[in-house]
Amino acid sequence: MKKSIKRGFGFGITSGIITTLGLMVGLFSGTNSKLAVLGGIIIIAIADAFSDSFGIHISEETAGKSKKSVRQSTISAFTTKFLTALIFIIPIIFITLKLAIIINIILGLILLSIFTLRITKKKKIRHLFEHLLIAIIVITITYFVGIGINNLFV
C-alpha cells in the first residue's frame, strides 16, 4: 500500500472511531434518543469525512506532495472516515440504544487496538495504551458533557 493511501487510511480510521464514539456517547447521554444518535452518526459520517479529507488534502499540499499523492491521501481519508463512522450504525438500528452504545464502544476500542498493533513497529503496548487512553478520555468527557447539557436545558 502506498504511503499516501496509508496516511489517509490511518487518519480516517482513527478519526472515524474516536469522533463517532464521542458523538454517539454524548448524544446518548444527553438525549437518550435513538433518532438523535442515528442522525448524528450519519451527519458526522458525511460532514466530518469531508472536513477531515480536506484537512489531509491541505496538509499534503502544504508538505509539497505530488498531485497524485495528495489525491490518494484525500480519497483514502474520506472513504475510510465515512465507512468507519457508518459501521457504528448497525447496532443502533437493530438493538436497544443503551446496548448498542456499549457494543459500539467495545467495537471501536477493538478496531482501534487492531489498527494500533498493526501500524506500530516498536513499543506496541505503550502505543496501544496511549491510543486507548485517548479514546476513553474522549468517551468519558462527551458522556459527562451530554449529561450536563441535558441537565441545563431539559
What angle (nearest 5°) sits at the alpha carbon of residue 18, between those of residues 23 and 115?
155
Q: Is the dihedral of CA 128, 130, 133, 139 positive or negative?
A: negative
Does the predicted TM-score (pTM) go above 0.85?
Answer: yes
Tens place of pLDDT for every residue, the chain, 154 residues? 688 788 889 989 999 999 999 999 999 999 999 999 999 999 999 999 999 999 999 999 999 988 998 999 999 999 999 999 999 999 999 999 999 999 999 999 999 999 999 988 899 999 999 999 999 999 999 999 999 999 999 8
Burial class (CB in 10 A: 0-12, 13-18, 19+), 1: exposed
The answer to whether residue 35 is domain-embedded is yes
In the chain, what is the straight-line distance between the N-terminal and C-terminal CA atoms, in Å? 49
Task: Tell me if 152 is assigned to some domain.
Answer: no
The number of distinct structural domains making up the chain is 1
The pLDDT score that the predictor gives to residue 1 is 67
Tell me if 97 is assigned to some domain.
Answer: yes
C-alpha cell at 102: 456499549
Considering the domain boundaries, does residue 78 fall inside one?
yes
The answer to whether residue 153 sits within a structural domain is: no
Structural domain includes residue 143: yes
Residue with cell 458525511: 46
Domain residue limits at 142: 3-147
